[in-house]
Each structure stands twice: as C-alpha cells, then as structure tokens.
Amino acid sequence: MPFIPHTQDDIREMLDAIGVGDIEQLFDEIPPGLKVEALAGVPPALGEMEIQRLMRDRAALDAGHLNFIGAGAYEHHIPAAVWEITTRGEFYSAYTPYQAEASQGTLQLIYEYQSMMAALTGMDVSNASLYEGASAMAEAALMAVRANRASRSGRILVPATVNPAYRRVAGSIASGQGLSFETVPYCAATGTTLPAALQAWDDADVTALVIQQPNFFGGYEDVAALTEWARAKGALVIAVVNPTSLALLTPPGQWGEGGADIACGEGQPLGVPLSSGGPYFGFLACREALVRQMPGRIVGRTIDLDGRAGFALTLQAREQHIRRSKATSNICTNQGLMVTAATIYMSLLGAEGLARVASACVRNAAELVGQLASVEGLRRAFSGPFFHESVLQLDRPVGPLLESLAKRGILGGYDLSGDYPELGNALLVCATETRTAADIETYFQALNDVLREARVA
C-alpha cells in the first residue's frame, strides 16, 4: 500500500467504535521501558518527490562500474526475455502461492522449478524456495537435527571455507534452538578442507557436516572424501552449492557413495540481478526419506476427477497451516517472483546453455587471476583449481587499494581481512561470463597504475 488512506476523522471514528481514547492505548500492555522514542540512524521523513530523487541517486551509484566482486552474489547475463515474462501481470501480481487456491499457472511454474532444481542438484525432492541462501543453510541445519534422530548432540560441523555470512546467519537463527556450530579449519596451502581435519571429531557425536562446493575461496572441496567420513560417522551431509557450477560439477546427490542428504544455497545466479543486495531466494532439496522434515512447501502434479492434469500444494508444513510447535519452519518465505525468474532463466538456457555459462566463468576467472597474479606485490594465496573466484594476497592493505580502483570505475573484489585475518592483506576476486578480455585488461592496467602511484607517493 503506497499510503495510509484514513483521515483523522476516520481514525477517531474507529477508536470510538472500540472504546479507545487514542492509538497508544492499543499498546498499553508494552512496558514503558521497552518503548523507544525514536530509532537511531533513521533520517527524517521525506516526501514522494524527494524519495524518488534519492532512489534515482542510489541507483546511479550502481551504474557504470566494472564489477569483480563475487563472495556469494554474482553478476551474470540475464536474457531480456526472463524479466519481460516474469513481470507480466499473470506472474507479477499473482496471489502469493502459500494457499491451496493459488492459480494453476503459478502452481505449474513452481512444479517446473522444483523439477529443475531436483535435476540440477541430483536430489529427489526440492521445495518451493526459501528466503535466501544464508537462512537456507540455517534451515538445512535445523532440518538435519530433526531428521538425524540417532544423534543427540545437535553438533553441526561447518568448515571455515563456508561463506562467513552464512555461518553468522546460521548461528543467529539456529544456535538459540540448541544447535552447536563448530568450525573445521582449512588447509593453508590449498584453501580447502582436508579430511584429516575432521579427525578431531572422530569420537564425537556429530549430527551433520556442511560442505560448500565451490567453497567461499572459489576452491574445490574433496566432496567425496568428506561425504564418506560423515557417512561412517552416521552424520548427515548438508551441501551448500552454487547452482551455476552444478552445470559442470558433480551434483550433491552423487557425492561419495550415497550422496549428500540435503542441498541448499543461493538462487540469485539463476536470472536474478544483483539489485544492491536483494531480494534473492534460497533453494533447498533433499533425499526423499527426509521430505517430511523439509521446510517450506512442495507443489505436486495430480489428476482431477475428469482425468485432466493439475497441480496442488501437497506439503506445506509451516506455521500458517499446522500447530506452530509442529512447523518445520517459521521463516520459510517463498520468494515467488524470484523463483519465477529462475524458472524462466533455466528454461531458456537449458542444460547446454547453463554449462556454457559455467565454462565461460571458469575461463574468465583463470584469465583474471593469471593477469593479476603477475603484478608485482600480488600472488595467489592458494594452489589448486577454482571456479569463478580466487584469493590474492597483497603487500599492502586492501581497503585503500579498492577505494582507488573504485574511483576509476572498478569494483576490484572483496576484502577478506575482516573475515579471515590470518590471510593478511587478502582479496577475493571474481569473473563471470559477463567479463570480457577487455574488462580484465582494464582492471590489470588500473591496478598497475594504482600501485605505481602508491610507490611514488
């Protein structure tokens, strides 16, 4: 709703009808000590004209830069048809697909989405999306605790190579529910999780092991060995995956002997623009044996009384439909519009097109890292192959360097010094299929210029 339509007379009439003197009386059960007079950091209200100007100015800040930042959100080419179709009235303004009376068109699209995500991840079942990737990992951890009844510890092993934002969000959401997230160290030479690092938990009760592939540094984990360790321990395996990479890499459902138990991640690479950080959507898939513990909802295909194919919500174990204490999730927001875009994106590209995108990412990232690592004062932090991002170590602080590059219209990467201080001055750089050889050369020359000017100064 763009504005509140009630006049002061309307408000007065409503208050009189319920016998209340003013609106504040509606909240008199809140103790005075919990109320605040104002929100710190919130600026004064603006009118419509000022808001439009502010939004245009903010949008302009995102324009005109060469982007080499990844770190969990990626700039991919989105065919024009994706959002032309997504924003048609049939999809754009359709009733939110929480209830069984959602339109057949919306239900069919969600069914097609689930089918594609199950095929992409190699899992048996996919739900109809979650809020975003970080909370999807938290939901997967909670799901693992419910599903692995042989384990009583609630202990979730999370390698340090898992996206640090995901680790923080999972801790915020799930640690208060009895889960314990314990960090597995990574190898300083390869930037990956060695199976030997898990030996510290050989005698412990482990509920689940999280494996991110590719990991936050862009490297490839030994998913088969890690999965088999978890299997031998009776622990479930939670795969956190980049959907674009699955066009080339072994899907979670085929990791090791039995595959992962749960696969989740961020769906933004599938046709969703960066949009200054959102909205995005999370995906979650699992083995059929665990489907009753899956948060969110599932759309199924059926036959009506006249023998015609139709679609219906077949599982929706959330707090709006069952007792809150029995709900599998209380935050499993369905990002329906983003899922619509992702479904259309995957339909347009197909398996071959998605593989071409992933292959171009690998080539461009290799070219980018190869050129930048040849610059004096920079070197690769880790050995081994990588997908579309990798870590470089510098002989100087990363922050001022990125600021200088930004003045030249280049977003040079993600500063890792805050999340991984042990790496020193470390920079995570990324190149997707959108980066051309000319873009990479521009970054290379700009970096040389910035470093040359710094030495002279």
Give the integer Cα–Cα distance in Å for 264 and 272: 17
Residue 102 lies in a domain: yes
Q: How many domains does the chain have?
A: 2
- Domain shared by 302 and 363, yes or no: no
Give the integer Cα–Cα distance in Å for 293 and 143: 6
Closest CA to 198 of 166, 165, 232, 164: 232
Which parts of 43-163 fold into alpha helices (H)?
A: 48-61, 80-86, 89-92, 104-121, 133-147
Q: What tokens were used for 408? A: 């030249």
Residue 152 lies in a domain: yes
| Residue pLDDT, tens place only, 271-315 | 999 988 889 999 999 999 999 899 888 899 999 899 999 998 887
pLDDT at 1: 40
Average pLDDT, the chain: 92
Instruction: Mark which of 345, 365, 389 sits at the end of a domain.
Output: 345
- Region of poorest pLDDT, from 98-102, 146-150, 427-431, 437-441: 98-102
pLDDT at 415: 98
Higher-confidence residue: 442 or 330?
442
Return the CATH number at 439: 3.90.1150.10
The predicted model gives 384-403 an average pLDDT of: 97
Give the integer Cα–Cα distance in Å for 201 and 155: 10
Write down the residue that tokens 């992409």 correspond to: 120
Instruction: Mark which of 311, 345, 379 sits at the end of a domain.
Output: 345
DSSP classification of residue 318: B
Per-residue confidence at 98, pLDDT binned at 50, 70, 90? low
Per-residue confidence at 369, pLDDT binned at 50, 70, 90? very high
- Domain shared by 137 and 258, yes or no: yes
DSSP classification of residue 44: P
- Domain shared by 340 and 358, yes or no: no
pLDDT at 326: 66
Q: What tokens were used for 44? A: 């004064």
Residue 46 lies in a domain: no
Residue 39 lies in a domain: no
The answer to whether 433 and 444 have CB atoms below 8 angstroms apart is no
Residue 16 lies in a domain: no
Higher-confidence residue: 399 or 304?
399
Per-residue confidence at 63, pLDDT binned at 50, 70, 90? confident
Give the integer Cα–Cα distance in Å for 216 and 226: 17
Provide φ and ψ at 38, rounded to 5°: -155, 160
The answer to whether 271 and 342 have CB atoms below 8 angstroms apart is yes
- Domain shared by 333 and 380, yes or no: no
Going through 144-202 in order, the beta strands assigned E by DSSP cover 155-159, 180-184
Residue 56 lies in a domain: no
Cα distances from 117 to residues 225, 268, 311, 411, 417, in angstroms, run: 24, 13, 18, 31, 34
Cα distances from 187 to residues 198, 217, 223, 247, in angstroms, run: 12, 12, 15, 27
**How do strand 180-184 and strand 236-241 relate by DSSP bridges?**
unpaired
Write down the residue that tokens 């996919």 correspond to: 126
| Residue pLDDT, tens place only, 188-242 | 999 999 999 999 999 999 999 999 999 999 999 999 999 999 999 999 999 999 9
- Domain shared by 334 and 378, yes or no: no
Closest CA to 375 of 433, 432, 457, 450: 450
Per-residue confidence at 61, pLDDT binned at 50, 70, 90? confident
The predicted model gives 265-273 an average pLDDT of: 98
- Domain shared by 359 and 325, yes or no: no
Return the CATH number at 300: 3.40.640.10
Residue 37 lies in a domain: no
Letter for the amino acid at 316? Q
Give the integer Cα–Cα distance in Å for 318 and 325: 10
How many other C-beta atoms lie within 10 A of the C-beta of residue 153?
A: 16
Checking if the pLDDT of 178 tops 50, the result is: yes
Checking if the pLDDT of 316 tops 80, the result is: no
Cα distances from 267 to residues 117, 124, 338, 441, in angstroms, run: 10, 18, 8, 30
Per-position b or e across 73-106, b if 16+ CB within 10 A of its CB: bbbbebeeebbebbeeeebeebeebbeeebeeeb
Domain extent, residue 422, equals: 66-73+350-456
How many other C-beta atoms lie within 10 A of the C-beta of residue 197?
A: 18
DSSP classification of residue 211: E
Instruction: Mark which of 285, 310, 345 sits at the end of a domain.
Output: 345
| Residue pLDDT, tens place only, 413-429 | 999 999 999 999 999 99
Higher-confidence residue: 261 or 314?
261
Kind and range of the H or E element at 398?
helix 398-407
pLDDT at 96: 58
DSSP classification of residue 410: E
- Domain shared by 339 and 371, yes or no: no
Provide φ and ψ at 418, rounded to 5°: -75, -40
pLDDT at 296: 81
Write down the residue that tokens 């939110």 correspond to: 96
Q: What tokens were used for 232? A: 């031998």
- Domain shared by 408 and 262, yes or no: no
- Domain shared by 387 and 435, yes or no: yes
- Domain shared by 242 and 114, yes or no: yes
The predicted model gives 401-413 an average pLDDT of: 96
Q: Does pTM top 0.85 for this prediction? A: yes
Checking if the pLDDT of 95 tops 70, the result is: no
Kind and range of the H or E element at 242?
none
Checking if the pLDDT of 325 tops 90, the result is: no
- Domain shared by 340 and 245, yes or no: yes
The predicted model gives 107-122 an average pLDDT of: 96
- Domain shared by 224 and 174, yes or no: yes
Residue 50 lies in a domain: no
